[in-house]
Amino acid sequence: QKEVEQNSGPLSVPEGAIASLNCTYSDRGSQSFFWYRQYSGKSPELIMFIYSNGDKEDGRFTAQLNKASQYVSLLIRDSQPSDSATYLCAVKYTGNQFYFGTGTSLTVIP
Amino acid sequence: DTEVTQTPKHLVMGMTNKKSLKCEQHMGHRAMYWYKQKAKKPPELMFVYSYEKLSINESVPSRFSPECPNSSLLNLHLHALQPEDSALYLCASSHWGSYEQYFGPGTRLTVT
């Protein structure tokens, strides 16, 4: 069964702090992992993807993957109020099947 | 051009109506997707098209009928829907096997 779990939050952090978002997945056949940001009433927007164990950095964002623990995380450094959104973890399987976690609501407090 | 367009933006239909949602992309992507998203829930995969052929149907009721007439267009035909089918319907596209999936803005569907 392809389950993707996230802490639904809400997660609140002060402006300038590090926000840490976590995701676990159940199927070891998972190929690659994605973080999307979704503002209220808008469609998901891809932030990062990762497919190898370890860290991947892009600007203020760092994705971390641990396949042995079936765990993927997203760190947002120097959080800004504009980062306030729902963050969706997604997992890709063969056949281009994407499954999404329930999302974590993040609020950055000015 | 990294845009996926969807029409209409909003749709209100009765349970006996037949309507269609349209999705278009001109990025040369050969994988196209339909998702359904209810309020405060994640997107749920409905259908995947690969090179204009239906490759995945996630046990979606037959009142939803997808169609991919060419590599740029994806339709979702709706018939005899139920009020619980009211949701945001998202279209997405990607290169086959690619990591980057682009979403359209969605169609907000209300079934009365």
Q: Distance between alpha carbon B97 and the CA centroid of its chain, in Å?
A: 19
CB atoms within 10 A of CB A68: 7
> What's the pLDDT tens digit per position in A2-27?
789 998 789 999 999 999 999 999 88
For residues A26 and A64, the model is more confident at A64
| Strand ranges in chain A using DSSP code E only, listed in sequence order | 4-6, 11-14, 19-25, 32-38, 45-50, 54-58, 61-66, 71-76, 85-93, 97-100, 104-109
Judge: A46–B101 Cβ closer than 8 Å, yes or no.
yes
| B37 → chain A, closest CA residue | A43
Q: Which residue has the tokens 């002060």?
A: A14
> What's the pLDDT tens digit per position in A74-95?
999 999 999 999 999 999 887 7
**Per-residue pLDDT for A63 more than 90?**
yes
Cβ atoms of residues A88 and B42 within 8 Å: yes
**Per-residue pLDDT for B112 more than 90?**
yes
> What is residue A94's predicted lDDT score, i.e. its pLDDT?
75
Closest residue to A102, CB basis, from B42, B101, B105: B42
pLDDT category of residue B1 using cuts at 50, 70 and 90 = low
* Interchain CB contacts (distance < 8 Å): A and B: 50
Q: What are A61's two structure tokens?
A: 């964002």
Judge: A88–B94 Cβ closer than 8 Å, yes or no.
no
